[in-house]
Structure 1
Amino acid sequence: MLFKSHILDGIKEGRVTLAFRHWTRPTVRTGGSLRTAIGVLAIGDVRAIEITEISDDEARRAGFDSRERLVNDLAKRRDGTAYRIEFHLSGPDPRDALRQDDQLDDHGVAALQARLALLDRSGAWTAQALRLISERDGRTAAEIADSLGIEKLALKRKIRLLKELGLTESLHSGYRLSDRGRVVYPRLFPASGNGGGT
């Protein structure tokens, strides 16, 4: 579930606490959570609704200045069922702190190497991907995918796994190594050095 930047601002300020979506299958569930650019949302009630049930107050709580604008926005995607999703900002994304944690001892580096080895089970890609990202901030998924001979969407899924380890972060366009990634990359792959070959 994605949000436009002005909606994220409203969530951060506590004004936006509802969303409405057309889904063939819900992508969030009651009691779950959702990571966003501003932090983690705690998901409250998620239920199927009829669009005619939406009130003016609910439209405002979803970040729209009128019910009509919300209904028009929902009409852009008519397939599936309309859902009403309650949420609130529950805290920062834990990956933010992880990305900044660059004080890894040898045990921590070894644990990261073991995690990367698991990611490489079906074919080595982590060292090359991290090297490409380390060489230039903003390197795009398309560039990395082309260099590695991987389909772009598959590459994006792989990069998300590196993000989970706190090694990379997304920019407006492309990726860069996080503080943690910059410090530990040469220790993870000593033969690679700082942006050298793998």
Structure 2
Amino acid sequence: MLIEQRLHQGIRDGSITVMFRRWKRRQVTAGNTYRTAAGRVVVAEVTEVAPSRIRSADARAAGYPSVAAAVADLRGTPGDPVFLLRLRLAEDEDPRTALAAAAELSTEDVAEIALRLERLDRASNHGPWTAATLDAIRRRPAVRAGDLAAGLGRETPPFKVDVRKLKNLGLTLSLEVGYRLSPRGEAYLRER
């Protein structure tokens, strides 16, 4: 879920608890947790609302001084439904953190990771990439994503998407600049 940078701090400190979105169809599900640039966000409620029915309290909870300001800032195609999202920052730890820290891998763990990486390689429209990407991150930690991608002959945006897939498996960690292998990723490369 994309959240404008101007809202990040408010979501983190709890002063922003509502967002409005104009979508052709609902893009989030109430009760789910989403990874965003503001952190992990729990969407507690998703309600379709007519712009004329937005309440002042909800506009203020979304960071707007008035309903008119909230409606004026709606993006998307006029006429598409408007959704009110009630949200909060997730309080529990990102499950990927515990997964990434797990440096003790069983034979079954190694086999499962290998199977998941093989599936990612097979599903790729640009050929196998997982081994080369893990190796590049191992050899060049804290190097800009663009430089790593160029070294592999790849465009940066799809490279970053692929690295996120490795992060979801607990194999890499994002740094301020670039990436590094997680303890789990290091253990997997040692065992494979």
TM-score (normalised: structure 2): 0.76
Of 180, 186, 192 in structure 1, the residue corresponding to residue 189 of structure 2 is 186
Q: 2:164 aligns with which of 151, 160, 165?
A: 160
Report the alpha carbon displacement of residue 172 of structure 1 after superposing the two structures with TM. Answer: 4.8
Name the counterpart of 2:29: 29
Per-residue CA distance 1:29-50 (angstroms, 9 max, x = gap): 2343322356543323323222
1:109 alignment partner in structure 2: 110
Is there any run of 5+ residues in structure 2 with no aligned partner, and where?
A: none
Q: Residue 96 of structure 2 aligns with which residue?
A: 95
> Does the aligned pair in 2 maintain the 1:137–1:177 contact within 8 Å?
no
Deviations 1:111-145 (A, max 9, x none): 322322222225321111112222131431x4444
Structure 1, gaps ≥5 residues long: 190-198
| Residues 40-79 of structure 1 aligned to structure 2 (within 5 Å) | 40-74=40-74, 77-79=75-77
- Shift of the 138–22 alpha-carbon distance from structure 1 to 2, 3 Å rule, reads farther
Moved over 6 A (4+): none
1:13-70 deviation per Cα after TM superposition (whole angstroms, max 9, x unaligned): 3332211012223221234332235654332332322222222211222233443443
Indicate the percent of aligned positions where both proteins have the same amino acid.
38
| Equivalent-residue separation in structure 2 for 1:94 and 1:70 (angstroms) | 34
Residues 1:94 and 1:49: Cα distance change in structure 2 (over 3 Å): same
Q: CA RMSD in A?
A: 2.8
Q: Could you tell me which residue of structure 1 aligns to residue 85 of structure 2?
A: 85
| Structure 1 CA distance for aligned equivalents of residues 24 and 191 of structure 2 | 42
* Contact map agreement 2:99 2:170 (CA 8 A) in 1: yes
